[in-house]
Structure 1
Amino acid sequence: MNDLSGLPSRAIWSDAEPLECVTVVPEGPNTATFTFRAPSGALFDYLPGQFLTLELPVPGGPLYRTYTISSSPSRPRSISITTKAQLDSIGTRWMLDNLVPGSQLRALGPSGVFSHLAHPAEKYLFISAGSGITPMMAMTTYMFDLGVEPDVVFVNCARRPSEIIFRERLEHMASRVPGISLRWVVEGPDRYRPWTGFQGMFNQLMLGLMASDYLEREVFCCGPEPFMQAVREALQGLGYDMDRYHQESFQAPAATDADVPEIDDVVPDEEALAEIVFAASDRTTRCAETETILAATRAAGLNIPSGCTFGVCGTCKVRKLAGEVHMVHNGGISEDDIAEGYILACCSHPIGSVTVDI
């Protein structure tokens, strides 16, 4: 047996010490992974999913920007952040243009409460979009490094296949551990390269195909707010226990539990009554908010043509003249139609008083 007692112990890094950049790896268009070490050789200790706040010496004074750690604490000799520059980026743009091996930066943290270790479960469902993949990468790498088979369905949405960050690394882990199931969703394929995976916008039908046992899974979501709202609405519409849903915005991650914003979505209340006014028929009916416009219309003796009843085909499209509905569709209506006041009756729930052109 080897005797390791003579090896020197290493201190744990704290933000009193700067970080030294050791590698810069391009991950895609305007996207790179920056890996740092502690000049003293100290090790990094944090929770997978936490973030760092970097002090960036941009012209005009230091700029503080927060980035999720994309590496795992199971590999403690270095720490990495992966970031993508948007059109209006200042800090990330500076990093891509100026940060090179040997550069040193001040950093604060690690901080944050978005980690699967804070919510132990037998099964997980990770859903992300764009660079929101970074905390999911950290948590999945941590599970992989434990050496036991996890049970995680990993969903990432991107504009096109070439913009899926960490695709090769994740596919390598999934090829070694059967318990990591990858699901990619792209808005469109790359030119001259066929795509056989999911295509379009994430929706309820995709969710059922990706993880049929989603009701049994702890869900973690990260991405732009409109994307996370769509995920929440899909889960709520399927009866998911939202107490088991956790999210992190890559623009404003929460440092403590008290910083986690309260989710204030409009959700139909089964105990609340709604009123539907049928303008063309000069009739009115009352129903529970959890009943669809289509079902309430039929119960009132009126008819709306319908097909799939899942928000896919668009057959039940009607114009909403007044009021508010909660609609979770699966691609059967365009954003232009929605802007003009149209809804899909099969997947729209009345909130309060609603007037429709029926």
Structure 2
Amino acid sequence: MRDLDTASADVWQDAEMLECVSVVPEVPNTASFSFRAPSGAQFKYHPGQFLTLEIPAPGQPGGVVHRTYTMSSSPSRPRSITITAKAQPDSIGTRWLLDNLQPGMRIKAIGPAGVFTNAHSSAQKYLFISAGSGVTPMMSMTTCMWDEGRDLDIAFINCAKRPSEIIFRQRLEQMASRTDGLDLKFVVEEPDRYSPWTGYQGQFNQLMLGLIAPDYLEREVYCCGPEPFMQAVRDALAGLGFDMDNYRQESFGAPVETEGDQPELDDVILNDDGRAEILFTHSNVTARIAETDTVLAAARSVGLNIPSGCTFGVCGTCKVKKTSGEVHMVHNGGISDGDIEAGYILACCSNPIGKVEVDV
């Protein structure tokens, strides 16, 4: 009988094609594809890493496309490997997988690779934040820690368009129901029709973060999702004073293989030493302040009154027109995209950068 111990078993190399063993539908346009090595070799990788699949694509140059997918399976279960793929309207490779890949078929894969993993982390407390299929590396890392019998302390936040599009919802709820160390929260943009939703609703923001994980400053953060989503998460954390050295992210549009390939994040970092100047044009009054001061605080410092309510960017009471210059605004839903495009800002959560003019 073959020794199934991973230390003595052969380890799969990507020169060997993978054989599909199951296709499990998850949510609309999404499925989990599990593979085995025909030789019986086992899989060795870090939770959170990805595979690159060579997928048939008639009409494309060379007749194939290469697409990367994070493993949703855990290396603690080494006899098979699973990816979970969601097709977008313009998908080519993922669409082929959903329409054509069946058990018994073989496919070329390259990897595993990637640096988005907590395998080498010494953190005791984690905050996993994901959107859509960005949940896959979080599922892999959580399952691995679960299988290893570790004392979990994970605040797990997953965002989706609506409840019916939450990937792995039942599996995550089952795990969370068996330990008090997995604090699971879902955030949806809108409820499903005729199905009440009693959880968090709207765009993920600072207020939700404070309610879901009040000890976020003590946690190591892992984030995965579309770039606009990750940008909003970074803005929320930075605005709350989080140490961004404890932040890790992986875009499912552009996973990287090495630390050196990590893109530089060009986020706005406000500095107490950075100086700004605001001209309140209607009153013809100028305030010279630090970048870390808000437009609302600047107005009050020179005796001007901008009506305000929540001071968290929720109520919209302090909306004013910015006529020139740039501000860094991190709001919590109190202003519409249309108002922002028209030049309006919320004074309570907007920090001036350089010279700014505001119609107050």
Q: TM-score, normalised by structure 2?
A: 0.97
Contact 2:277 2:286 in 1 (8 A): yes
Structure 2 residue 349 is the aligned partner of structure 1 residue 347: yes
Cα distance change on mapping 1:53 and 1:282 into 2, 3 Å: same
Shift in Å, 1:349? 0.2
Q: For residues 75-224 of structure 1, what are the structure 2 equivalents within 5 Å? A: 75-224=77-226
Flag the 1:166–1:5 CA change in 2: closer, same or farther, 3 A: closer
Q: Return the alpha-carbon distance in structure 1 between the equivalents of residues 114 and 98 of structure 2.
A: 25
CA distance in 1, matches of 2:178, 2:79: 23
Contact 1:149–1:177 (8 Å) recurs in 2 = no
**Partner of residue 233, structure 2:** 231
Letter aligned with residue 124 of structure 2: E
Q: Which amino acid counterpart does residue 56 of structure 1 have in structure 2? A: I
Alpha-carbon distance in 2 for matches of 1:190, 1:158: 11
1:93 to partner: Cα distance: 0.4
Matched, 1:14 2:13: yes
Give the corresponding residue for 2:58: 59
Q: CA deviation at 1:103?
A: 0.8
- Give the C-alpha shift of residue 264 in structure 1: 0.7
Cα distance in 2 for residues equivalent to 1:59 and 1:310: 52
Match of 2:42 in 1: 43
- State the Cα RMSD in Å: 1.2
Partner amino acid, structure 1, of 2:29: N
User: Which residue type is aligned with residue 137 of structure 2?
Assistant: P
Distance between the aligned counterparts of 2:290 and 2:109, measured in 1? 52
Deviations, residues 97-151 of structure 1 (Å, cap 9, x unaligned) = 1100011001000000000113220100000000000000000000111123210
Q: CA deviation at 1:7?
A: 6.7
Q: Which runs of 5+ in 1 are unaligned?
A: none
1: CA distance, partners of 2:83 / 2:122: 24
5 Å-filtered alignment, 1:242-257, equals: 242-257=244-259
Identity %: 69
Structure 2: distance between partners of 1:318 and 1:7: 67
d(CA) in 2 for partners of 1:327 and 1:28? 34
- How many Å apart are 1:5 and its aligned residue? 10
- CA distance in 1: counterparts of 2:150 and 2:318, whole angstroms: 48
Q: How far, CA to CA, are the matches of 2:106 and 2:357 in structure 1?
A: 61
What residue in structure 1 maps to residue 23 of structure 2?
Answer: 24
Q: Could you tell me which amino acid in structure 1 is paired with residue 162 of structure 2?
A: R
Change (3 A) 1:315 1:71: same
Shifted more, 7-16 versus 79-88: the winner is 7-16
Q: Any residues of structure 2 matched to 1:232-311 within 5 Å, and which?
A: 232-311=234-313
Q: Is the 8 A contact 2:52 2:69 kept in 1?
A: yes
Gaps of 5+ in 2: none
CA deviation map 1:65-97 (0-9, x unaligned):
011011000000100000100011000001101
Q: Alignment length, in residue pairs?
A: 355
The residue aligned with 2:75 is 73
Letter in 2 for 1:122: Q
Shift of 1:175: 1.1
Q: Is the 8 A contact 2:3 2:9 kept in 1?
A: no
Distance in 2, matches of 1:6 and 1:65, equals: 33
What SS is found at the alignment partner of 1:28?
coil
User: What's the TM-score, normalizing by structure 1?
Assistant: 0.97
Deviation digits for residues 287-340 of structure 1 (CA, Å, limit 9, x no counterpart):
000000000000011110001111111000001101110111111111111111
Q: Is the 8 Å Cα contact of residues 144 and 177 (structure 1) preserved in structure 2?
A: no
Q: For the Cα contact (< 8 Å) 1:267–1:326, is it kept in 2? A: no
| Secondary structure in 1 matching 2:177 | helix
Q: Hey, what's the Cα distance between the residues in 2 that align with 1:232 and 1:173?
A: 28
**TM-fit CA distance, 1:240:** 0.2
Letter in 1 for 2:311: T
Secondary structure at the aligned position of 2:357 is classed as strand
Q: Find the aligned partners of 1:84 and 1:341 in 2 and give their Cα distance.
A: 36
* Ranges of 4+ aligned residues in structure 1 off by more than 3 Å: 4-9
Q: 1:322/1:6 Cα in 2 relative to 1: closer, same or farther (>3 Å)? A: closer
